[in-house]
Amino acid sequence: MQILVLNCGSSSAKFAVMDTASGQEVIAGLAQRIGSPQATLGWKMAGVKAERAIPGADHKAALETIVSVLRELGLAEGIRGIGHRVVHGGEHFSASRIVDATVVDGIRDCIPLGPLHNPANLVGIELGAVLFPGLAQVAVFDTAFHQTMPRQAYLYAVPWSWYEEHHARRYGFHGTSHRFVSRQAAEQLGRPYDQCRTIVAHLGNGCSACAIKDGQSVDTTMGLTPLEGLVMGTRSGDVDPALIGYLAPRLGITADKVIDALNKQSGLQGLSGLSNDMRTLLEAAGNGNDRAKLAVEVFVYRLAKAIAGLAVPLGRIDALVFTGGIGENAAPIRAQILDQLAVFGFRVDETRNRAHGRSVGGRITADGATTALVVPTNEELMIALDTAALVAA
Ligand code: ADP
């Protein structure tokens, strides 16, 4: 079944047509700088790239152009459903859902929790209904997979009313990726998914790790927002919340501005003063740049500590799985993490690790050692599979 996957952001719209039978991407593209004179729509099909200027386009104009491109390429007629990535589903959604009025209301209710993303996601859903009348739409939530976390994992130790009245708790994100990757890992391990205990490290620009026990997320590193947890490209991850009150008057800025800097000027970027990009930092560290080296050291140490913590709810680790741009490509980072987790029996196999595990079904640890795997994520395919399943039902 061919499914259109849409990921509407505040100034961008990512799209793909996925064929769920083959698992292949038919076309993928991105409208960028929506709302500006520089707005463009780019796409790639069968290895061929193309781009069209859409100056001044708003979301509606951008999506209309996407639909005309799909028509011109003869793809629009074959689409059987639209799968939308929705960032925050709060406690309303523990699985993907066919979009109806109740689902739209639920997504709207979660806007205070995802103020940057949910409104854009809703725009995508509204336009999808207009551009493809009669076609089923499905909402796939970043948070849904983590709704199985037990109370001791999702509650903050704060006044009870903050949770009860304001829904302040840990939600977790990257759920679509953690679910896809942990299922692939179970297949590679040759174990039923509901008997598998894995830790997935999704390391991209945003980074999170998740403990998956018998097919369910039991803990993850992100919290109320994606700022909590690991060191990321530009996000700090965990800091003492008192830092905000300490710094705001000293810097002469509001608490909101401090939080903005924790999101956009921290992490690898803040520590290195050079870049948020792991490739750049590994190269600079190799050339003797001490701050780049330090940024990588902090990134690895904090990640290793978090992974060790996620072993607690699992009791046993069948596999540690690396995914995302860094997880899939940065062999030296994987090696350093496995070294720091030697206490769990990990021992890297350098040859397999350099080959990103491709030679041996993803495995990058030595025979006899605890298993670590590299599994490429594919959130678009997971969204398409969910959509196809709900459409077929
Ligand atoms: P996003 O979270 O935006 O989807 P990605 O999953 O593409 O991002 O991950 C981006 C990160 O992956 C960047 O830090 C980038 O430097 C890193 N990365 C990609 N390729 C490599 C590589 N060959 N070696 C090291 N890091 C890499």
The answer on pLDDT for 146 being more than 90 is yes
Residue 251 and residue 126 share a domain: no
Distance of CA 332 to the CA centre of its chain: 22
Instruction: State both tokens at 107.
Output: 């997504």
Residue 125 and residue 255 share a domain: no
- For the chain, the first-to-last Cα distance in angstroms comes to 13
Note whether residue 282 is domain-resident.
Answer: yes
Q: Supply the pLDDT for residue 10.
A: 86
% of the chain surpassing 70 pLDDT = 100
Instruction: Report the alpha-carbon distance of residue 219 to residue 82 in Å, rounded.
Output: 30
Residue 352 and residue 243 share a domain: yes
Query: What is the average pLDDT score of the chain?
Result: 97
Instruction: Report the alpha-carbon distance of residue 234 to residue 262 in Å, rounded.
Output: 8
CATH no. for residue 204? 3.30.420.40
The answer on pLDDT for 27 being more than 90 is yes
CA distances from 222 to 97, 228, 378 (A): 23, 5, 20
Note whether residue 154 is domain-resident.
Answer: no
How would residue 213 be classed by pLDDT, with cut points 50, 70 and 90? Answer: very high
205 in ligand 1 pocket by Cβ < 6 Å?
yes
Residue 360 and residue 238 share a domain: yes
| DSSP conformation class of 33 | S
In the residue annotation, 142 being an active-site residue is answered as: yes
Residue 93 and residue 215 share a domain: no
Residue 363 and residue 246 share a domain: yes
Q: Supply the pLDDT for residue 123.
A: 94
pLDDT tens for 286-320 read 999 999 999 999 999 999 999 999 999 999 999 99
Mean per-residue pLDDT, 188-207 = 97
The answer on pLDDT for 110 being more than 90 is yes
Q: Which of 105, 142, 260, 318 is catalytic?
A: 142
Q: Supply the pLDDT for residue 163.
A: 98
Note whether residue 249 is domain-resident.
Answer: yes
Write down which residue in 126, 141, 156 finishes a domain: 141
The answer on pLDDT for 270 being more than 90 is yes
Residue 333 and residue 196 share a domain: yes
pLDDT tens for 10-21 read 899 999 999 999
Helix (H) or strand (E) holding 189: helix 175-189
115 half-sphere exposure, CB direction, 13 A CA radius: 1
Note whether residue 161 is domain-resident.
Answer: no
Single out the residue of 310, 303, 362 nearest to residue 336, CA to CA. 303
List 50's β-bridge partners, or say none. Answer: 43
The answer on pLDDT for 390 being more than 90 is yes
Mutate to test the pocket of ligand 1, among 85, 180, 205, 234 (most ligand atoms within 8 A of CB): 205
Write down which residue in 141, 156, 179 finishes a domain: 141
CA 175 to ligand 1 center in whole angstroms: 19
CA distances from 3 to 21, 27, 175, 299 (A): 11, 11, 20, 37
Note whether residue 285 is domain-resident.
Answer: yes
Report helix angle 118-131 to 59-72, nearest 10: 50
Instruction: Report the alpha-carbon distance of residue 364 to residue 355 in Å, rounded.
Output: 8
Note whether residue 392 is domain-resident.
Answer: no
332 in ligand 1 pocket by Cβ < 6 Å?
no
324 in ligand 1 pocket by Cβ < 6 Å?
yes
Please state, as a whole number, how many other Cβ atoms lie within 10 Å of the Cβ of residue 270: 17
CA 160 to ligand 1 center in whole angstroms: 39
CA 324 to ligand 1 center in whole angstroms: 7
In residues, how long is the chain? 393
Instruction: State both tokens at 83.
Output: 């799968």
Note whether residue 146 is domain-resident.
Answer: no
Residue 204 and residue 118 share a domain: no
Q: Supply the pLDDT for residue 17.
A: 98
Phi, psi of 104 (to 5 degrees): -60, -45
94 in ligand 1 pocket by Cβ < 6 Å?
no
Residue 287 and residue 208 share a domain: yes
Single out the residue of 120, 152, 106, 157 nearest to residue 13, CA to CA. 120
CA distances from 350 to 248, 321, 332, 335, 363 (A): 46, 16, 9, 8, 11
CA 326 to ligand 1 center in whole angstroms: 5
279 in ligand 1 pocket by Cβ < 6 Å?
yes
329 in ligand 1 pocket by Cβ < 6 Å?
yes
Query: Which residues lie closer than 8 Å to 147 by C-beta, 6 or more apart?
Result: 89, 91, 93, 94, 217
Residue 133 and residue 237 share a domain: no
The total domain count for the chain is 2
Instruction: Report the alpha-carbon distance of residue 332 to residue 311 in Å, rounded.
Output: 23
pLDDT tens for 153-175 read 999 999 999 999 999 999 999 99
Range of the domain at 68: 2-141
Secondary structure of 223-292 in the HEC alphabet?
CCCCCCCCCCCCCCCCCCCHHHHHHHHHHCCCHHHHHHHHHHCCHHHHHHCCCCCHHHHHHHHHCCCHHH
391 in ligand 1 pocket by Cβ < 6 Å?
no
Instruction: Tell how strand 13-19 and strand 24-32 pair up.
Output: antiparallel
Single out the residue of 6, 89, 96 nearest to residue 390, CA to CA. 96
Note whether residue 291 is domain-resident.
Answer: yes
Q: Supply the pLDDT for residue 116.
A: 86
| DSSP conformation class of 348 | B
Instruction: Report the alpha-carbon distance of residue 153 to residue 148 in Å, rounded.
Output: 10
Classify 73 in phi/psi space as left (phi over 0), alpha (psi -120 to 50) or beta.
Answer: alpha
Residue 218 and residue 358 share a domain: yes
How would residue 359 be classed by pLDDT, with cut points 50, 70 and 90? Answer: confident
| DSSP conformation class of 206 | S
CA 334 to ligand 1 center in whole angstroms: 13
The answer on pLDDT for 354 being more than 90 is yes
Residue 122 and residue 230 share a domain: no
Instruction: Report the alpha-carbon distance of residue 306 to residue 310 in Å, rounded.
Output: 6
CA distances from 367 to 17, 145, 316, 348, 364 (A): 39, 32, 18, 9, 9
